[in-house]
Amino acid sequence: MKHYLPPLDGLKAFESAARHLSFSLAADELCITKGAVSYQIRKLEEHLQYDLFKRSVRQVYLTDGGQMLLQTTQSLFSDLSETLNRLQENNRQTGITIAVTTYVAARWLSRHISAFNEHYPQVNVLLQHSVNAADFKLTDVDIAIRWGPCHTRPEPNQFGEIPMALYPVASPQLLERYSIDAGATRNARHLAEPPFTRIPLLCEDRQLDMWQAWFGEAAAEADQVKTRPTDLVNKSEQATCALSNPRRVISDANVRVQAAIDGQGLILADDMMINELNSGLLVCPFAESLHGYGYTFLSSASRVQNPQTQSLIEWLSKQVTATEHTP
């Protein structure tokens, strides 16, 4: 059924001006000019062919018809607001927002969400990818999955964690290009020697140099194995030497993985790249790994109150335990 109703902006301007008995106050409330309020009300009166206000030099008054329309518009706006709030509340109850990178979403989370939806088909899980943005706030989402250092003690709002070691990988074609035997036994020290020093190290745009962190831990571990106790005095000095390898910053993890497959350089991988390793697209030229990092699962106290969020948290917690650090 077609409704011959006036524009909503005109009704909003009228309701505000009628409630305040002031075009100026209505303009302030609606964040528009006084002239705009006057124009919209005049268009409404032309549409109705009825005067809604009696205008004097310093004051406006409602006509009988204006008083009647004010009661109706207030009632309608109140009902409309209540309905919209109810719809938003229903959406909050049946929709869960997870902040996660596309890398983790595609390689680990997606299949677990699919399994979750088989048990809870009424819950709509939404993924958004601003988790690493500078202005990201945990309170803006129901759950966040972030990469970073693992914690011996759980952080506030933390409900799970998957520790994952980092280790260098490269495409077989890259190693072949530099005449490097992919099957040879070598340690981290070789990364600071030719021909590895000519190979770019693909990294994320972070202040923390993960390549240097890997090299420091791996070189120290290798030195501790091969040196005599009397030589351990020099171990810390050797382990802290800086890598001179060229760096190539690629902030997107998925693009960084593809760049490694394409032979653009070495990349620090974790077990979420197991498919590329199993298929031979990437190989491990070094045996050492960097430990102490992984994926942390977070949810704010206010969001946990949602029963649907609690269900998903419990589900993901079980998947984290079952993962046993391998996706």
Neighbours of 80 (CB within 10 A): 11
What is the DSSP code (8-state) at residue 299? Answer: -
Query: In angstroms, rounded to a whole number, what is the distance separating the alpha carbons of residues 222 and 325?
Result: 24
Q: What is the per-residue pLDDT for 239?
A: 46
Specify which of 3-12, 23-32, 226-235 reaches the highest per-range mean pLDDT. Answer: 23-32
Q: Which run of H or E residues covers position 296?
A: strand 293-298
Mean pLDDT along residues 177-204: 91
Query: Which residues have CB under 8 Å from 231's CB, separation 6+?
Result: none
263: left (phi over 0), alpha (psi -120 to 50) or beta: left
Model pLDDT for residues 140-164, shown as the tens digit of each residue: 899 999 998 987 777 788 888 899 9
Q: How confident is the model at residue 322 (pLDDT cuts 50, 70, 90)?
A: low
CA 164 to chain centre: 20
Specify which of 52-61, 92-101, 216-225 reaches the highest per-range mean pLDDT. Answer: 52-61
Structure tokens at 118: 């088989």
> Domains, the chain, ranges and CATH?
8-90 (1.10.10.10), 93-163+294-323 (3.40.190.10), 167-290 (3.40.190.10)
Q: How confident is the model at residue 234 (pLDDT cuts 50, 70, 90)?
A: very low
